[in-house]
């Protein structure tokens, strides 16, 4: 075999392996036709969850196992009655080395009830969706951008970043972290009873509510009504800063 032919065979084999890796790494993929208002739950224990809106008409859920003990963890499809519910099942007392990452696409023009987009030890990111959203992580960050509707977002030890492009509905909203910062950006036409509290972090807001400080501790809080106060908006952190900005 000549050197040129050897290089050609080697390059072709390498390309084949590169193309095969993504297909082999994807362990779950399913499409769902869910009507407006259907509930959507995507949860994992270890791994990131990313949900993005796209110009399609079905919900697409893709799951990727990563780690040494791939066969010890199952991706479970618990969807029924037109609602989407996909999660992860670990063996009892599992010390396995495996995480499951989810990537989800949802139709941009349909409003859903995102009842639980969550991870225990991963980051959660949601971009461009419409409807009611509840996003949470225990030890990761939560990043919500360009959402239409209402949002509840929380983390225990990570930051929470939320941007709401337009309000729909009058549901209450809550944004919280224990040891992280919480930054929220909303339209200037906000109607809400605002309640912000941090024990050891600063508070910053564009809205006309007074920020107060405790004379004996580092606690700060801000309360007040904006517009007609049609919903409650609560923000809190124990050791992080809070900001509520407008655009």
The full set of domain ranges for the chain reads: 29-246
Q: How high is the pLDDT of residue 217? A: 87
d(C-alpha 156, C-alpha 118), whole Å: 12
Reported as a single tens digit per residue, the pLDDT across 149-196 is 999 999 999 999 999 999 998 999 999 999 999 999 999 999 999 999
Q: How high is the pLDDT of residue 96? A: 86
Provide the token pair at 128: 């461009």
Reported as a single tens digit per residue, the pLDDT across 116-142 is 999 999 999 999 999 999 999 999 999
Paired with 220 in beta bridges are: 198, 213
Q: How high is the pLDDT of residue 1? A: 45
pLDDT at 87 over 50: yes
Asked if 131 and 112 count as a contact pair (C-beta separation under 8 A), the reply is yes
Reported as a single tens digit per residue, the pLDDT across 6-56 is 344 334 444 443 433 333 357 999 999 999 999 999 999 999 999 999 999
CB atoms within 10 A of CB 20: 10
């Amino acid at each position: 075999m000549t050197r040129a032919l050897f290089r050609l065979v080697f390059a072709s084999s390498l390309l084949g392996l590169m193309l095969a890796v993504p297909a082999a790494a994807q362990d779950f993929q399913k499409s769902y036709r869910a009507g407006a208002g259907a509930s959507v739950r995507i949860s994992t224990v270890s791994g990131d969850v990313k949900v993005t809106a796209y110009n399609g008409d079905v919900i697409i859920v893709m799951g990727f196992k990563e780690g040494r003990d791939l066969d010890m963890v199952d991706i479970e499809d618990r969807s029924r009655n037109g609602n989407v519910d996909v999660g992860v099942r670990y063996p009892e007392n599992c010390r396995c080395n495996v995480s499951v990452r989810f990537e989800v696409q949802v139709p941009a023009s349909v409003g859903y009830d995102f009842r639980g987009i969550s991870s225990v030890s991963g980051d959660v990111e949601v971009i461009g969706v419409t409807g009611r959203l509840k996003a949470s992580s225990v030890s990761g960050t939560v990043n919500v951008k360009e959402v239409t509707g209402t949002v509840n977002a929380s983390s225990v030890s990570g930051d929470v970043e939320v941007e709401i492009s337009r309000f729909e509905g009058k549901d209450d909203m809550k944004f919280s972290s224990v040891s992280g910062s919480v930054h929220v950006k909303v339209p200037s036409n906000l109607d809400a009873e605002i309640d912000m509290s941090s024990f050891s972090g600063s508070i910053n807001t564009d809205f006309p509510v007074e920020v107060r400080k405790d004379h004996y501790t580092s606690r700060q809080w801000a309360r007040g009504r904006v517009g007609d106060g049609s919903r409650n908006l609560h923000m809190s952190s124990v050791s992080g800063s809070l900001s509520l900005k407008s655009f």
